[in-house]
A = this chain, B = another copy of it.
Amino acid sequence: MCCFVPLAFPTKRKEAMTGTFVKRVMKSLCAAHGMRSSSSLAKVKVGTDILSIAPNVSLQIARTWDQGVASSFLTTPLVDIFKDKKVVIFGIPGAFTGVCSEEHVPTYMDNADMFKAKGIDFVICVAINDPYTMNEWAEKLQGKDTIEFYGDFDGSFHRSLKLVTDLSNVLLGTRSERY
């Protein structure tokens, strides 16, 4: 039920990503999890310019309801997340699902320092959940100090990347694919 293929994105809006670092980190992580990196990449190729595929899409940083009210329910455009930064982003099918909570997100948390040492500015976990649910999950995982959590409440980010799938069979509905 989860995902651990890191994708690093261009540091500038129209800059193509070389993918060298991505491939290296992905290869080591996938090997650690016994996965083949090529199959795990699904429909997003290394080098994909996320900002050109989803130019008007925003994510919602994990926060409490009260913080949501205080922020006037502000969202974060992708350009503000990725511009001039090197980011590892990974998607999970849902907050409070088993393997994601017990293994995959903690793996990223445990390797946060390794990512930083390799020049990554921050690691992002994203799911098709509202930001309040994502926040509660992040708090429960004690993960907010090491990685960032974002909601994609309406699935617009994952739809733009063609990374949505129907997980009704496990009572989740439309969610992110494993990536």
Q: Which of B73, B94, B154 contacts A132 (CB 8 A)?
A: B94
Whether a CB of chain B sits under 8 angstroms from the CB of A153 is: yes
* Residues of A that sit less than 8 Å from B by CB: 1, 60, 64-66, 68-69, 73, 75, 94-98, 101, 129-133, 135-137, 140, 151, 153-154, 168-173
Find out whether the CB atom of B171 lies under 8 angstroms from the CB atom of A130.
yes
Find out whether the CB atom of A170 lies under 8 angstroms from the CB atom of B68.
yes
Q: Which of B135, B153, B154 contacts A96 (CB 8 A)?
A: B135
Also in contact, A171 and B133, with CB within 8 A (given A65-B101, A96-B65): no
Also in contact, A140 and B130, with CB within 8 A (given A153-B172, A170-B68, A171-B153): no
